[in-house]
């Protein structure tokens, strides 16, 4: 099979022939059709997370995928050959066998059926970003009907799902991103859009939410997290996927989320996609040979919606 491999931290990926893996006990061999590109892929390539995630070289990067079940290992019985599936494929033990490849072997407990009404490209863009928004907004953030939520980084991969999930829960959504993305955010359902470039969000928020917001979901980090904290109402919650909480006032109900694979939640997301509640915007599809261009784009920190690589 062809795969984009990393041979040392800090180097570019190179597309090379690699042995096609054999599914082990309880595993499936999946023919990958598309894989979402996420900021973490570039961070891993630079070695920023090398102490946290076990690895060996050569590494095949990539944690997102949609594809077709091609072979079942001994004991695997939940899916059939030919089933169309999607998954967040990060494994806790070793991060070598990622999704920027023609094939992956993966325990079937990671997989869910792909939504039937969207392409493999759209489905491959969902798992990591979709689960991150789901776990942050619904599970940890406990957003409920009538709450007001401020989403920092609303137009990116995670933010786009967060806006839609928050609307699905019946919340009032204040989306923060640059002005060029405001029309897109309105299409996703945002009630108010704020541009972080030409104003201070902690100064203008009071016109929209006079008591402050119930939940801040932060997909940006740094000083932006601290600004978001100042927009909370008393007792409000701050959920971040980028900030560990250093420097925040003690009274803030703060939670850091590191997204976990969860096929039950992917099933729920599939239902929402099939019902038309959740949409995916693909801004650009890359070929595997152009994987380094895709990583460069995601590193800008200004990608709208999702970008993917097609196998």
Ligand X SMILES: NC(=O)c1ccc[n+]([C@@H]2O[C@H](COP(=O)([O-])OP(=O)(O)OC[C@H]3O[C@@H](n4cnc5c(N)ncnc54)[C@H](OP(=O)(O)O)[C@@H]3O)[C@@H](O)[C@H]2O)c1
**Which residues contact ligand X by CB under 6 A?**
38-40, 128-129, 132, 152-153, 155-159, 176-178, 181, 196, 219-220, 224, 241-242, 257-259, 298, 301-304
- Give the nearer residue to ligand X in terms of CB position, either 104 or 257: 257
**Using CA atoms in the order 244, 248, 249, 255, what is the torsion angle rounded to 10 degrees?**
-30
- Give the nearer residue to ligand X in terms of CB position, either 149 or 257: 257
- Give the nearer residue to ligand X in terms of CB position, either 28 or 213: 213
- Give the nearer residue to ligand X in terms of CB position, either 10 or 19: 10
Beta bridge mates, 5: 14, 60
- Give the nearer residue to ligand X in terms of CB position, either 103 or 110: 110
217: closest CA among 203, 204, 231, 200? 231
Sheet holding 14-17, edge to edge: 14-17, 2-6, 59-60
- Give the nearer residue to ligand X in terms of CB position, either 69 or 213: 213
- CA–CA dist 243, 303 (Å, integer): 20
Least Å distance, CB 136 to ligand X, is 8
Residue nearest to ligand X (CB): 156
Least Å distance, CB 118 to ligand X, is 19
Least Å distance, CB 154 to ligand X, is 7
Per-residue buried b or exposed e for 249-258, using 16+ beta carbons within 10 Å of the residue's own CB: eeebebbebe
- Give the nearer residue to ligand X in terms of CB position, either 71 or 186: 186
- CA–CA dist 74, 59 (Å, integer): 26
Least Å distance, CB 132 to ligand X, is 4
- Give the nearer residue to ligand X in terms of CB position, either 126 or 176: 176
Q: Strand 172-176 vs strand 192-194: parallel, antiparallel, or unpaired?
A: parallel
Please, what sign has the CA dihedral across residues 228, 230, 236, 240?
positive
Beta bridge mates, 65: 87
Least Å distance, CB 206 to ligand X, is 18
Least Å distance, CB 69 to ligand X, is 26
Contacts of 163 (CB under 8 A, 6+ apart): 151, 154, 173, 175, 185, 188, 189, 190
Least Å distance, CB 268 to ligand X, is 18
Least Å distance, CB 146 to ligand X, is 25
- Give the nearer residue to ligand X in terms of CB position, either 31 or 46: 46
Least Å distance, CB 179 to ligand X, is 8
């Amino acid at each position: 099979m062809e795969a984009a491999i990393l041979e040392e931290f800090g180097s570019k990926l190179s597309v090379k022939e690699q042995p096609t893996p054999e599914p082990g006990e309880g595993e499936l061999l999946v023919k990958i059709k598309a894989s979402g590109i996420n900021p973490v892929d570039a961070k891993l390539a630079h070695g920023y997370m090398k102490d946290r995630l076990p690895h060996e070289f050569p590494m095949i990067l990539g944690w997102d995928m949609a594809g077709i079940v091609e072979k079942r290992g001994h004991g695997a019985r939940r899916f059939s050959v030919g089933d169309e599936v999607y998954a967040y494929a990060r494994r806790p033990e070793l991060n070598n066998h990622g999704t920027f490849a023609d094939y992956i072997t993966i325990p079937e407990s990671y997989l869910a059926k792909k939504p039937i009404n969207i392409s493999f490209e759209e489905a491959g863009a969902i798992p990591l970003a979709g689960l991150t928004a789901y776990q942050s907004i619904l599970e940890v953030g406990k957003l409920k009907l009538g709450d007001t939520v401020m989403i920092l980084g609303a137009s990116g991969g995670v933010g786009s799902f967060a806006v839609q999930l928050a609307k699905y829960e019946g919340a009032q959504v204040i989306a923060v991103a640059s002005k060029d993305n405001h029309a897109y955010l309105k299409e996703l359902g945002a009630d108010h859009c704020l541009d972080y470039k030409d104003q201070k969000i902690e100064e203008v928020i009071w016109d929209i939410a006079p008591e402050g917001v119930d939940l801040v979901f932060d997909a940006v980090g740094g000083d932006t997290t601290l600004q978001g904290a100042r927009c909370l109402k008393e007792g409000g919650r701050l959920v971040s996927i980028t900030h560990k909480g250093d420097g925040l006032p003690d009274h803030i109900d703060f939670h850091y989320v590191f997204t976990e694979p969860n096929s039950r939640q992917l099933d729920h997301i599939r239902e929402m996609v099939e019902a038309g509640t959740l949409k995916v915007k693909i801004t650009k599809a890359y070929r595997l040979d152009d994987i380094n261009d895709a990583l460069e784009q995601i590193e800008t920190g200004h990608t709208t919606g999702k970008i993917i690589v097609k196998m």
